[in-house]
Structure 1
């Protein structure tokens, strides 16, 4: 199962839904690792260093920085971009599908958008 990094802007209800659905899922929050307020390149670098897929609502800038990492030949274990207006239940279901179907490296260098 994918290891995840939850961006500080991720709706806590989505995170709770995923945690309820998957007992023991490997997810850490940006707030828990001392990166609160860090810029996107720093968060993406940390995610790459720890092989974690970033989950975020930041569809404005994260995609650009993720693509810059790929273009520079830097590791980018993946980003899941969640449209902020998407219904929480739909987001949790889509995340469940992704987590059940994808392996550790399946999102390398990819940006995936939810809702699917």
Structure 2
């Protein structure tokens, strides 16, 4: 299955806009859009949505997301992955990285883990 991204509602809207413009074949949803969790949904529920629909979460949440993922895994649940954005890296560079990840990653390569972008 191809990598799909769920963009957290607190991520700059330029990320999904630019990803959709540059690579329209990549499936990208944003929290609050139709068929996703509504804005204001708690992080643990977002992780369940990502698990159910097989989306990697793209977020800025460095502080509490590791705790939410640990709790999620402790409940014997899984997630395709979480990508945490680096505020010191430009949007264009991050977009390039997300596109590259989509094209060259193995299925389940990021399952059940947090990956901080950019990947070294």
TM-score, normalising length: structure 1: 0.89
Distance 1:18 1:45 in 2: 24
Distance 2:3 2:37 in 1: 22
Distance 1:70 1:19 in 2: 31
What's the counterpart of residue 25 of structure 1?
26
Alpha-carbon distance, 1:7 to partner = 0.7
Question: Does residue 111 of structure 1 match 2:114?
Answer: yes
Q: After TM superposition, which residue ranges in structure 1, 4 or more long, deviate above 4 angstroms?
A: none
CA RMSD in angstroms, aligned pairs only: 1.5
What's the counterpart of residue 3 of structure 1?
4
Alpha-carbon distance, 1:83 to partner = 2.0
Question: Does residue 35 of structure 1 match 2:34?
Answer: no
TM-score, normalising length: structure 2: 0.86
Distance 2:31 2:106 in 1: 22
Alpha-carbon distance, 1:34 to partner = 4.2
Alpha-carbon distance change, 34 to 53 in structure 1, aligned in 2, over 3 angstroms: closer
- Kept in 1: contact 2:78–2:112 (CA 8 A): yes
Name the structure where helix makes up a greater proportion of residues.
1
- Kept in 2: contact 1:35–1:43 (CA 8 A): no
